[in-house]
A = this chain, B = another copy of it.
Amino acid sequence: MVTIGVDIGGTNIKTGLVDDTMCIVRQSVVPFPAHGGEAAQVVAWQIQGLLSRKGLNETALAGIGLAVPGSIDKAGEMVLKAGNLGFYHEPLISKFRPYFPNVDVRMLNDADAATLAEWKLGALQGLTTAALLTLGTGVGGGLILDGKLFRGGNGSGTEIGHMILRQGGRRCSCGNSGCAEPYASAGALEQEALAEPGFIFSNAKEIVDRAKAGDPGALRAFNRYINSLGSLVASLINLLDPEAVAIGGGISCAGDFLFDALRKNVLPKVYFEQCGSILPAALGNEAGMLGAALWVKT
């Protein structure tokens, strides 16, 4: 049997055919459709394409998991709100199910999917209390609590990026101000660099590379960014005392240069005598697909 894991994003839809050992044996990437209402159909076509290229049909499917960047109703049927997809109370599952009427289909939040994947297959394996932070355009993430994926006390999920880090500070995309997101996302590093007079760069990776090379403006921007990210990680640690905090997203590719600076920043902010580890996420762009596939298997 194979499982399908679908990671639906505002730019692309990634669909993976996952075998029993949780390896993605085949995948396909297509743009998210201009008319979001067609997403269910696009996903169905992707899956049918993957199956036929492997000489399989839907009887080979153990299930289909969908990861979406938004909040989901308690029944797991409706996308309540996914701004990047233009989805508001979108009945995604009931639109999708007719394409695979005999297959188990389940949906979860994409950050929860990535957390589940890192916990079962990646950086957080074997832990009982842990967090994943994904730093991209926004700040996403998820929690493992009491040896389970935590999906919010009322089922609304967890929004680490909207913890308040600097009350009264920068405006956040959510409408509030001072959230962690405008200080700790990859975009926030660019904003720090923009504040350095005369410092010109093309993207976050270049800022990190030039900070590594010792450019003073890049270093100042990088250090301010690390101070904010460090405060967010310390807040999580002081509240939950996790065994580990894993950090994913493009910026985590900065490796030891980032993680050494981050650990050095976090430790003095931690209330406890000991603190869990701070480490890179392991699964990269595949975490969403793998987590979606895992979700339908649990």
Contacts and interface: CB of A to CB of B under 8 A. Distances in A.
Contacts of A20: none
Nearest to A146: B146
A156 B268 contact: no
A239 B160 contact: yes
8 contacts: A154-B243, A154-B276, A159-B239, A164-B232, A167-B228, A176-B269, A235-B235, A236-B239
A128 interface: yes
A134 interface: no
Residue from A71, A80, A153, A269 with most neighbouring chain B CB atoms (10 Å): A153
A238 interface: yes
A235 B178 CA distance: 11
Interface in A146-161: 146, 148, 150, 152-160
Contacts of A231: 164, 167, 178
Contacts of A159: 238-239, 271-272
Interface of A: 71, 80-81, 127-130, 143, 145-146, 148, 150, 152-160, 162-168, 174-176, 178, 183, 227-228, 231-232, 234-236, 238-243, 268-269, 271-276
A241 B158 contact: yes
A131 to B, nearest CB: 9
Residue from A81, A143, A146, A236 with most neighbouring chain B CB atoms (10 Å): A146
B273 A241 contact: no
Contact of A146 (B148, B268, B274): B148
B241 A167 contact: no
Contacts of A268: 175-176
Contacts of A160: 238-239
A145 B235 CA distance: 18
A274 B154 contact: yes
